[in-house]
Amino acid sequence: MKLGFDAKRAFFNNTGLGNYSRDTIRTLGQYFSDNEYHLYTPKEIKNERLSFLEDKNYYFIHSPKTWFDRTFSSVWRTIKLKNDLVKDGISHFHGLSHELPYGIQNTNIKTVVSIHDLIAIRYPQYFKKADRISYVKKSQYACQVADKIIAVSQQTKEDIIRFFNIEEDKIEVIYQGCNKVFQEEQSADFKISVSTKHQLTKKYLLYVGTIEERKNLFNLLRCLKELPDYQLVVIGNGKAYKNKCLDFINENKMNDRIKILSDLSLKEMAAIYQQADIMIYPSFFEGFGIPILESLFCGVPVITSQGGCFAEPGGKHSSYINPNDIEQMKSEIVDISTNISRRKKMIEEGKKHAQNFTDDKIAERLMNLYQNI
């Protein structure tokens, strides 16, 4: 098969949607190298996280060729791209992040779109109005014209049915995986070097995710204020909400206990995960929650939110709390960090649960979907 992919976020985005795009492309090539994988991006840029593309004769990178298409790359990507797909003989096209080119249903190309969440509909207050309208419009159109829809969780599938009135049998749940680096134990020397570089303490709690209101770091900081013996490492970045969190840290003299890091390599992130005491992921809503899965692969117990999709990556033995209940959050942190038998069970069962999300299983599910359209 000649498979085409919307690879914009694989090249330009170093977090959630970018990781999903790169992992999808990487695992398919690794396990099904007899196909051709054509990646369409507005601009080919250097990205260390795309090093897996090097020296592989089954990957082909495409970007706009004319001055007009390079200058107005959003027009190329949303309207004109379908013409390039036809010229290149693409048999299947996969929109990896909520979008498909307009008019692609008028070609003979089979289409798949991945929908990660419909947070813009559930929580419109988290989005600028123009961004929300554009996001919802593109997602709804893609769901209507696609031959198949991939939902990254059962929660997302239910939202697609509810908000877009899409028939259930058109949607298949195929979970995300996570980068191989989180599935491999980092060397002791490398862990020490990372800890030294970032001046990490021997024991610390961990939070990973964009620092924005929906992900609820502020309540975790409120909790940590009442746990003066605990340190927290935050991996993520943000804007106005981050400033709100920094103000709280400064006002409560917590600077020596809270370390905020960003722009790390995946290998550095894995080393930090693997030395963490507990991952705390108190988000109000997610489409999947990949830091939960990364934590389980790294042997780190997880505290996350009740309801939604969180139990899908988290499994039966993670801890589920009300993300607004500071006392419950505090109680779980103390119990998991001091209750050795419970902690051991959470780690063992978490690693077992993570085996449902290995690269080979996800690649096989994706390939079966393409072949059965």
pLDDT at residue 240 greater than cutoff 90: yes
What does pTM read for this prediction?
A: 0.89
Provide CATH code, domain 180-356: 3.40.50.2000
* Cβ-contact 333, 230 below 8 angstroms: yes
Q: Rounded to 5 degrees, what angle do the CA atoms 71, 73, 76 make?
A: 120
pLDDT at 242: 96
pLDDT at 179: 86
- List, for residues 114-160, the tens digit of each pLDDT value: 999 998 998 888 888 998 999 999 999 999 999 999 999 999 999 99
Residues paired with 115 in a beta bridge = 151
Q: What is the mean pLDDT of residues 203-225?
A: 96
**Domain range summary for the chain, segments of one domain joined by +:** 2-177+358-372, 180-356
Q: State the pairing for strand pair 110-115/36-40.
A: unpaired
* Cβ-contact 5, 93 below 8 angstroms: yes
CATH class of the structural domain 2-177+358-372: alpha beta
Please report, rounded to a whole number, the percentage of residues in the chain having pLDDT higher than 70.
100
CB contact set of 40 (below 8 Å; sequence gap of 6+): 4, 5, 6, 7, 8, 62, 63, 77, 81, 84, 85
Q: Do domains 2-177+358-372 and 180-356 have the same CATH topology?
A: yes
Residue 269 banded pLDDT, cuts 50, 70, 90: very high
Residue 54 banded pLDDT, cuts 50, 70, 90: confident
d(CA 65, CA 94): 21
pLDDT at 225: 96
Residue matched to tokens 């992992």 = 23
* Cβ-contact 235, 206 below 8 angstroms: yes
- List, for residues 322-352, the tens digit of each pLDDT value: 999 999 999 999 999 999 999 999 999 999 9
Question: Could you please report the per-residue DSSP string of 38-67?
Answer: EEE-SS----GGGGGGTT-TTEEEE---SH
pLDDT at 86: 97
Q: Tell me which H or E stretch contains 68.
A: helix 67-71
Q: Please report, as a single letter, which amino acid is at residue 12.
A: F
